[in-house]
Amino acid sequence: MKSLRRRLDVRSDDSGLSLIEVIVAMLVFAMIATGVGYTMIAALHLTRDSTARQQAANLASQEIDLTRSIDNLFNLVDKTTTETLNGVTYTIKRTARWVSDPNVDQRCGIGGGILRYKRVNVTVAWTGMTSGTPTVHADTLIDPGVRINDPDLGTVLISVSDSSGEPVAGATVTVTPATPANGANSLSAQPAPTDSLGCTYALMVDPGNYDVTVSKSGYVDITQNAAPSVLVNVAKSSASAAMATLDLGASFPISYGTNYAGTVTVPGNLDASFVSTYGTSVQTNAPNTVTMFPFPAGYEVLAGLYNDPATPSKFCNSVDPAQWLAGTTAGVNYLAGVRPPAVAAIPGGTAPTAQVPMGVLDVTMPSWWGSSKRYLVAISQSSGPAGTADPGCGTTSVYNFGTYSKGTTVNKIALPFGSWKLYAATSATGTTTQISVSSITPVTAAVETSSDDIVTLDPRQVAP
């Protein structure tokens, strides 16, 4: 009996696996299965990526073949397209640049010399690309040869960009013989509007001098010209460059005499000088709103003719408050004059209203023979009388406020800063009868000189 029991006890110890042994076995199996599964998935990804890359390479090669078949290389421009194959979307991006050698870009209208090559770079990307996978690239360099060049004729490359240097598409371009023409002749067909790169061209052009004019509705250049021209000289077997800057004009509203709390009357032919880092642009006839090139730094707006466009070297410093120095005048201690703050706007936008300070005064028209009305005329003086701080004026401005009856008091007329003589005249620019300073009452800071009947309008603030 004891022997049989011992045998049964041994069989009981070997009856099966414990729970821990089962868990360990399952863990080992899971690790092996995961490794096998990951390997299979990686293989599938690799196969799919390899297939997609091969297809992308075919698309890049196809794009290169298409570009090389284009006869007119000026029509070969940047382009992005998509194509879906077997559920995968491919993005094909083409970049085309003129180059003087394979490593140097030459945007149209920049540089000159003989037109060399068109370099084309193609990249293809696709959906589902694995991380770190590079796109497919294909490049080519096309020699235009006789397709665009003629040994006896030339080419004009035109480039139009905006204030930020971005290309302006859709600009109209005309190329006409200049004066002197020096052999230039009218083109049989004008260039097409600028493309997405802001470029266009004139081919097979006779050697000579040409005016290249560009324009686009609502656009102006840095000189406020809506149709600026560039003079180019075309030589045989050469490409001439013509560059222009145009941008969508911004609106600049103006408020005059803002240093006076009430309403003022300004001359109907008043000039407004827009001063920027690029110079002065003069707007005439007391504009309430003007369209200007959108310089990021904006414009400081002055009443009066600050810089005469007809004689750019002549400045009227009197109209610029910043030219008036601190000091004592007629017993009053003044701070230095300060220009009004600049106003700016984005292309196509509207700037804050320009606050334009002016000298303000009341004038009583004198008596004269007859009953007809006379013009109230103001004429600027080249320098202020002794004892005034007038910095001087190199130009002469003649402004009129319309006609009034004799003895009429004209209230709150506004003039640019500086020294002025006022007249009751029979014409809008006349000097029939000078008005005495006894009939002039300044409302803002001013000095009246009775010896010459001159009123000097001062932009400065009284020192505290």
In a domain, 360, yes or no: yes
Are 161 and 299 in the same domain?
no
In a domain, 364, yes or no: yes
Average pLDDT over residues 130-158: 77
Last residue of a domain, one of 179, 213, 248: 248
Q: Using pLDDT thresholds of 50, 70 and 90, give the confidence band for residue 113.
A: very low
Average pLDDT over residues 178-183: 95
The predicted pLDDT at position 404 comes to: 97
The predicted pLDDT at position 108 comes to: 62
In a domain, 37, yes or no: no
State how far the Cα of 233 lies from the Cα of 445, in Å rounded to an integer: 55
Domain residues for 414? 251-457
Higher pLDDT, 24 or 281: 281
Last residue of a domain, one of 225, 248, 271: 248
Last residue of a domain, one of 201, 221, 248: 248
- Burial of 253 per CB tally in 10 Å (0-12, 13-18, 19+): middle
Are 282 and 406 in the same domain?
yes
Are 127 and 265 in the same domain?
no
- Burial of 19 per CB tally in 10 Å (0-12, 13-18, 19+): exposed
Closest Cα to residue 345, out of 251, 222, 256? 251
Which pLDDT tens digit goes with each residue over 352-394?
999 999 999 999 999 998 889 999 999 999 999 999 999 999 9
Number of domains in the chain: 3
Model-level pTM? Answer: 0.72
Are 269 and 212 in the same domain?
no
Q: Using pLDDT thresholds of 50, 70 and 90, give the confidence band for residue 336.
A: very high
Which pLDDT tens digit goes with each residue over 191-220?
999 988 788 888 889 999 999 999 999 999
Are 384 and 447 in the same domain?
yes
Are 369 and 445 in the same domain?
yes
Are 184 and 128 in the same domain?
no
**How does strand 239-245 pair with strand 154-161?**
parallel
Q: Which of 4-18, 135-149, 181-195, 416-430 has the lowest mean pLDDT?
A: 4-18
In a domain, 26, yes or no: no
Are 68 and 212 in the same domain?
no
Residue type at 376 in one-letter notation? L
Q: Which two tokens stand for residue 308?
A: 């005469």
DSSP 246-306: -EE-EEEEEEE-TTSSS--B--TT--EEEEETTEEEEE-S--SEEEE---TT-BEEEES-S
The predicted pLDDT at position 316 comes to: 95
Domain with residue 83: its CATH number is: 3.30.1300.30
Angle formed at CA 391 by CA 390 and CA 395, multiple of 5 degrees: 100
Are 327 and 316 in the same domain?
yes
Residue 8 has pLDDT above 60, yes or no: no
Domain with residue 231: its CATH number is: 2.60.40.2070
In a domain, 57, yes or no: no
Are 347 and 211 in the same domain?
no
In a domain, 2, yes or no: no
Contact status, residue 264 vs residue 226, Cβ threshold 8 Å = no
Residue 131 has pLDDT above 90, yes or no: no
